């Protein structure tokens, strides 16, 4: 899909607009695709609005799917792909501060655009690239302003999720939230308690994965929205205020997991608490473990070094931590350490650790990882069955403990990852007990 001079060059979308127009109906590209085209950004999703009723849309195209008839939406299937086509509509009162109780089909484009959240999303474009902009979205974009369509109080009370979208759009597009829109957001912030955590998590993920996660974090703090999630999270978000320069480093990380790990590390909260908070946010188990695992490894390193005057054991502590928490987790922590600035005038255990251990880890951690011959029991040259046969013992809890000990000694270079050598080491360990 290409964008040229603000015009969206999508053959399938253009074909739909032309066919609906030839059938006597109005049809336009609407919403985010128009906004991004005018900004010269890549187009992610194409949305089409039309004066044609759903059944009329279905008669105009040989292949359609009635994906959302209750909202007036029909999916048109073309060789270029699938396109959602929605009838101009006006929405009745909202329920649950999220969705309209009903919709009414209308024939007026301006009235349809009026129900949208922000002026930059309330524009339409015809097949020739002409823009319909009844609420001055282009002027707001040119001025770098994010403003609600109509009364901001009404827009946010209709759909409370729009407040998080406000923060996301402002950070993603580098916009200043218009004063009345911001004041309405502050006044309506408690309504966010009505929004499902899945929706909250999705918006937060988009913010963190966006081009300016640090701006999103600062706007979230200024708005106080984190205090009004449906489920209260045991996370001290205000601690981000003490790590201002570190927040600016988050965008230097490419992977979303790394960005989350950095942000949550700065909260100086136990890894287990963070993992539970991510569960409350409906993160998948795998995602939650990947993020919290980085914090757990950092905690384990700090705990193992606590009270040691000689920093030399860091290599041993690091190798053991990498084996116990996984190679991927260790490499993720290294990526964080490479971009984290040294804390200035900050107190606390994390700041002390970043000053004392992080620089050496950032310099040597990768080389130390390369020296480790195996990171998991699967990579070990012997199995539990090998050990049981060599020791003539029935399998039991002792076996897992012994294998883990052999793995860690191999990682430290005390043993070679050779079957015969590991069996001899297993026999020696058993005899010592």
pLDDT at 51: 97
**pLDDT tens-digit readout, 364-419:** 999 999 999 999 999 999 999 999 999 999 988 899 999 999 999 999 999 999 99
Residues linked to residue 176 through DSSP beta bridges, in sequence order:
145
Phi first, then psi, for residue 282 (nearest 5°) are 65, 25
Nearest 5°: the CA angle 24, 26, 30 is 155
Residue with tokens 């012997």: 382
Average pLDDT over residues 269-297: 97
pLDDT band at 327 (very low <50, low <70, confident <90, very high): very high
**Domains of the chain (ranges, CATH numbers):** 1-136 (3.30.460.10), 144-230 (1.10.110.30), 233-372 (no CATH), 377-432 (1.10.246.80)
pLDDT of residue 44: 85
26-46 mean pLDDT: 93
Stretch 311-321: mean pLDDT, rounded? 85
Locate tokens 């699967």: which residue? 378
Residues 255-263, mean pLDDT to the nearest whole number: 98
Range scoring the smallest mean pLDDT among 29-43, 83-97, 201-215, 381-395? 83-97
Is 80 exceeded by the pLDDT of residue 94?
Answer: no
Q: What proportion of the chain, given as a percentage, has pLDDT over 70?
A: 95
By three-state DSSP, how is residue 433 classified? coil
pLDDT of residue 333: 98
CA distance 172 to 44: 14
26/201 Cα distance (integer angstroms): 37
Confidence grade of residue 346 (pLDDT, cut at 50, 70, 90): confident
CA 13 and chain centroid, separation? 29
pLDDT digits (tens, 9 = 90+) for 47-76: 999 999 999 999 999 999 998 887 899 999
Give the model's pLDDT for residue 308.
57
> What local confidence, expressed as pLDDT, does residue 103 receive?
78
Which DSSP string do the residues of 271-316 spell out, in sequence order? HHHHHHHHHHTT--HHHHHHHHHHHHHHHHHHHHHTT-S-STTHHH
- Output the pLDDT for position 90: 87
Cα→Cα distances 385→377, 390, 402, 423, Å: 13, 8, 12, 11
- Rounded to the nearest integer, the mean pLDDT of the chain is 92
């Amino acid at each position: 899909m290409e964008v040229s001079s603000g015009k969206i060059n999508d053959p399938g979308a253009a074909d739909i607009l032309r066919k609906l127009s030839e059938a006597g109906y109005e049809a336009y590209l609407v919403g985010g695709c128009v906004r991004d085209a005018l900004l010269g950004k890549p187009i992610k999703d194409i949305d089409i609005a039309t004066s044609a009723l759903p059944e009329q849309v279905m008669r105009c195209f040989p292949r359609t799917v009635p994906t959302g008839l209750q909202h007036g939406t029909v999916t048109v299937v073309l060789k270029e792909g699938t396109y959602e086509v929605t009838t101009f509509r006006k929405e009745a009162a909202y329920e649950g501060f999220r969705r309209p109780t009903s919709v009414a089909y209308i024939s007026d484009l301006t009235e349809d655009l009026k129900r949208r959240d922000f002026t930059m999303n309330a524009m339409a474009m015809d097949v020739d690239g002409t823009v319909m902009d009844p609420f001055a979205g282009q002027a707001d974009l040119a001025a770098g302003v994010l403003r609600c369509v109509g009364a901001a109080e009404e827009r946010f009370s209709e759909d409370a999720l729009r407040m998080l979208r406000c923060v996301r759009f402002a950070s993603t597009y580098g916009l200043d939230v218009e004063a009345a829109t911001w004041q309405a957001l502050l006044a309506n912030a408690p309504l966010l308690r009505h929004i499902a955590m899945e929706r909250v998590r999705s918006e937060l993920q988009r913010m963190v994965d966006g081009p300016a996660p640090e701006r999103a974090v600062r706007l979230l703090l200024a708005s106080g929205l984190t205090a009004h999630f449906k489920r209260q999270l045991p996370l001290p978000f205000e601690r981000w205020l003490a790590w201002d320069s570190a927040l600016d480093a988050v965008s230097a990380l490419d992977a979303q997991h790394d960005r989350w790990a950095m942000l949550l590390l700065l909260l100086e909260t136990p890894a287990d608490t963070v993992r539970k908070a991510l569960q409350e946010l409906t993160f998948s188990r795998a995602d939650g473990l990947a993020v919290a695992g980085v914090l757990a490894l950092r905690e384990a390193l700090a705990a193992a070094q606590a009270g040691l005057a000689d920093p030399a054991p860091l290599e041993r502590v690091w190798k053991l931590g990498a084996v116990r928490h996984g190679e991927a987790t260790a490499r993720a922590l290294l990526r964080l350490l490479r971009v984290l600035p040294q804390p200035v005038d900050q107190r606390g255990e994390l700041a002390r650790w970043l000053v004392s251990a992080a620089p050496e880890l950032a310099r040597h951690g990768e080389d130390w990882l390369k020296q480790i011959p195996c990171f998991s029991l699967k990579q070990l040259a012997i199995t539990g069955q090998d050990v049981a046969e060599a020791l003539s013992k029935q399998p039991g809890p002792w076996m897992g403990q012994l294998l883990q000990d052999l793995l860690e000694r191999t990682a430290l270079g005390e043993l070679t990852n050779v079957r015969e050598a590991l069996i001899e080491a297993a026999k020696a360990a058993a005899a010592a007990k």
